[in-house]
Amino acid sequence: MNPTLFEKIIAREIPAAIEHEDDRCIVIRDIAPQAPTHLLLIPKRVIPRVSESAPSDAETLGHLVVTAGALARKLGLGGGFRLVVNNGPDACETVPHLHVHLLAGRKLGWPPG
């Protein structure tokens, strides 16, 4: 199987604006931001999508959420932020490598989508 776009970014084959990196994930700025702050939290281990996750992925998925909270504090997003995970074509998933969108910096409407 060919590497995903995110695997190529993790391998530094494609440049990206990296906001954070640790042993389990990389966080980059979205190239088509939907809010003033739009980050993508990407696990280094490929999980294609939430619907294909397994109990063994729980620690990785939890790490993404905890990392999002730490970044929100670091970036001063006290007014609020939203985490979004798309799953499948009807949810506009464009890369088959699970990732979490962190959106902030403007009033976010409800309901989303």
Whether 38 is a known active-site residue: answer no
Residue 12 is part of which domain span? 5-104
Q: How many domains does the chain have?
A: 1
Instruction: Report yes or no: 29 and 105 within 8 Å, Cβ to Cβ.
Output: no
**What is the model's pLDDT at position 72?**
97
Model pLDDT for residues 100-109, shown as the tens digit of each residue: 999 999 999 9
From 20, 63, 97, 99, the catalytic residue: 99
Whether 81 and 37 have beta carbons less than 8 Å apart is answered as: yes
Is residue 109 included in any domain, yes or no? no
Alpha helices of the chain — where are they, by DSSP H? 5-10, 58-74
Note whether residue 74 is domain-resident. Answer: yes
Max Cα–Cα distance, the chain, nearest Å: 42
Cβ neighbours around 66 below 10 Å, total = 10
Task: Return the bridge partners of 42, or none.
Answer: 26
Indicate whether 111 belongs to any domain: no
Is 59 inside any structural domain?
A: yes
CATH code of residue 65: 3.30.428.10
> Do the domain assignments include residue 113?
no
Tell me, yes or no, whether 112 lies in a domain.
Answer: no
pLDDT at 78 over 90: no
Q: Which of 5, 2, 96, 14 is nearest to 49 (CA)?
A: 96
Write down the pTM of the prediction. Answer: 0.94
